[in-house]
Amino acid sequence: MSAPKNQAAWLKKAGTPLEVSDAPLPTAGPGEIVVKNAAIAINPLDCHMQDQGVFVQQWPAIFGCDVAGEVYEAGPDVQGFKKGDRVIGHAINLVTGRPQDGAFALYTVIPADKAAILPDAISFQDGVVVSFAVEAAVCALSVKEPGIAMPGVSTPALGLPYPSLDAMPSSGKTLVVYGGSSSVGSMTTQLATAAGIHVIAISGAHNFDFSKRCGAAQVFDHKDPPVIKKVIKAIGKSGGEFVGIFDAIATPETYANDLAILSKLGGGHLACVHPPPTEVPANVRAGMIFAVNDVATPVYKNYVTPALQAGKLRCLPPPTVVGKGLEHINEALKKSRAGVSATKLVVTL
């Protein structure tokens, strides 16, 4: 039987549209699986990679972070995955630079410890929204030691517990999630809540119900002029230890509000999805999450699949399918760049 043909959406140079053409069929090395992709998802990081070539280590490049599909091949030492298994996975081209590790292709190499079995009851287009957001959320919540994500940028160190399948008693800790309706913000809310953490979310007023579905105890409107006062009051009423803010939006405007909240509460951690503000008070420990970290391995291995099966982990935000076929990725990237709310853009294959 002849080998299948692989194709990919290649980036030839920064600031240009992706071009669909043939690509080598990847093989699974030690600790790896090859996934025949049925759906891929778009993340804001992908727009930065296309626009500026950030993280691209060799040209032409294949990038993209989220895949869902079937295992085509499992590496020689891989346990827990076999050919034909339905999986979701986090592609890590931004770290390795290898084209075969990018999601925007028919076949992608995924580290086995960044993949999870997708229950039969969940479609590929629903499941594909999970993986990258899970790892980013775990990196925001569970990194214990400040490290170096990129030269000169320290990572946050909230050091909060992992999510649990059991009903968790309150940990006595309160976390603010700014951008509660974003993909990473909503996943952080889900995982924090599953670790017994009291989450106060900030989002658009039209997304209050969505943030509460993710587990937020209270949600405040980011456009409400007294939002800072209201959040500070809610933190005080929660009775828990305030551990800090996870900012999934990370703009000058949100940073100003973050620092205003932290200054009133005596400081704390500020974890951000972009480089943190340059000037912060001595009692604020600000850092940027880097969403590839072995700290996420136990969550993929022990939590994601049973939590999806039990309905404890939801495929949120829900997907918006832009089209079918690699040629629709450019359109999906354009839509992502224009901004989306409480949804994740998906291309099926």
CA gap 253, 230 in Å, rounded: 17
- For the chain, the domains span 6-129+318-348, 134-288
Closest by CA to 154, choosing from 280, 266, 35, is: 280
Entry pTM = 0.92
What number does CATH give the domain 6-129+318-348? 3.90.180.10
CA angle at residue 110 from 109 to 116, to 5 degrees?
A: 145
- Topology of domain 134-288, per CATH? Rossmann fold (3.40.50)
Per-residue pLDDT of the chain (349 residues), as tens digits, is 678 999 999 999 999 999 999 999 999 999 999 999 999 999 988 998 999 988 889 999 999 999 999 999 999 999 999 999 999 999 999 899 999 999 999 999 999 999 999 999 999 999 999 999 999 999 888 876 544 444 444 455 677 888 989 876 677 889 999 999 999 999 999 999 999 999 999 999 999 999 999 999 999 999 999 999 999 999 988 887 898 999 999 999 999 999 999 999 988 889 888 888 888 888 888 888 888 888 899 999 999 999 999 999 999 999 999 999 999 999 999 999 998 888 999 999 9
194, 312 contact by CB (below 8 A): yes
